[in-house]
Amino acid sequence: MTSPATIVINGKEVQFTGGQTILEVCRGAGVPIPTLCHDNRLKPYGGCRLCIVEIKGVPRPLASCTTPAEAGMEVTTESPRLTRLRKTVLELLLSNHPNDCMCCEAAGNCGLQTLAYRFGARLDRFPGEQWQLPIRQDNPFITYEPNKCIVCGRCTRICNEVVMAGTISLVNRGFEVMPDTAFAKPRSLDNCEFCGQCVSACPTGALTDTKGRGLGRAGDVTKVKTTCTYCGTGCNFF
């Protein structure tokens, strides 16, 4: 049997097994790394770039969620450069995000809000065009506020890769890219399972449980394991 390999994280030697990413090794060792597009239920995506780390001998920071750990690596997860880059990423996301945390359904349970606060990201650093799209309630159980979407792809990936419903997909290009059902069948509400996995995957207030709106902010609500009224199968994700 081969002995586990080791990498050095912030000066401490950590063992890992083959196939693990740097993010997985760090989290396994209790080293926190900020993420927005990562979801343990999904394949690594590498979209948000918040999980960047420095690796000795590599000139540019790399996304830890998509970089495999290799024996002998020396990884730094916190530095002034990483903090500056993460803050800039957050400020770019906030440049096209409504300033309504005070009354947002996801307040207190929003990955973007939490990280923006932690890194001191400013809403007004990159003023420019913003989406001004209407709230969508064409799904009877899920409210979609596209202006709050950060295009992390978690909802579309979980719908297509885990639930296999194929209800939503990222559509359009560039500034207009967003999750939608615009391709018509099979990507339409007709094959939505109403499982709520997309809501559970959303790190912001873009997708919320319609029935729960106005009944208490997500961060104030105590969650209990139960069988929800969507499908009755008892997946216990809510």
**Rounded-to-integer distance, Cα 89 and Cα 155, Å:** 20
Q: At what angle do helices 111-119 and 80-94 cross, to 10 degrees?
A: 130
- Measured from the CB atom, the residue of 21 and 139 that comes closer to ligand FES is 21
Phi and psi dihedrals of 215, rounded to 5? Answer: -100, 5
Binder among 7, 9, 50, 94 for ligand FES (CB under 6 A) = 50
Q: Any idea which residue has 């923006």 for tokens?
A: 116
Among positions 47, 61, 203, 205, the unique one binding ligand FES when judged by CB under 6 A:
47
Residue with tokens 């069988």: 227
Does residue 48 touch ligand FES according to CB under 6 A? yes
Considering only the stretches 47-55, 109-117, 132-140, 174-182, report the one whose residues sit in contact with ligand FES under the rule CB under 6 A. 47-55
Helix (H) / strand (E) element for 9: namely strand 5-9
Rounded distance between C-alpha atoms, residue 66 and residue 46, angstroms: 6
Q: Which is nearer to ligand FES, 7 or 37 (CB)?
A: 37
Among 51, 93, 121, 155, binds ligand FES (CB under 6 A): 51
Whole-number Å distance between alpha carbons of 67 and 62: 7
Instruction: Name the DSSP letter for residue 6.
Output: E
Least Å distance, CB 183 to ligand FES, is 25
- Residues in the interface with ligand FES (CB under 6 A) total 12
Among 22, 25, 65, 121, binds ligand FES (CB under 6 A): 65
Which one of 7, 16, 35, 67 is in contact with ligand FES (CB under 6 A)? 35
State yes or no: residue 98 binds ligand FES (CB under 6 A): no
Contact range with ligand FES by CB under 6 A, out of 34-42, 70-78, 211-219, 223-231: 34-42
Main-chain dihedrals φ then ψ at residue 77, nearest 5 degrees: -100, -15
Which range touches ligand FES (CB under 6 A), out of 3-11, 42-50, 74-82, 118-126? 42-50
Tally the C-alpha atoms within 13 A of residue 108's C-alpha that lie toward its C-beta: 10
Binding part of the chain for ligand FES, among 31-39, 100-108, 195-203, 213-221 by CB under 6 A, reads: 31-39
As given in the structure block, the two tokens for residue 61 are: 């920071």
Q: Nearer Cβ to ligand FES, position 38 or 148?
A: 38
Q: Is 206 near ligand FES (CB under 6 A)?
A: no
Strands 74-76 vs 12-16: parallel, antiparallel or unpaired:
unpaired
CA distance 207 to 61: 31
- Return residues touching ligand FES (CB under 6 A): 35-38, 46-51, 63, 65
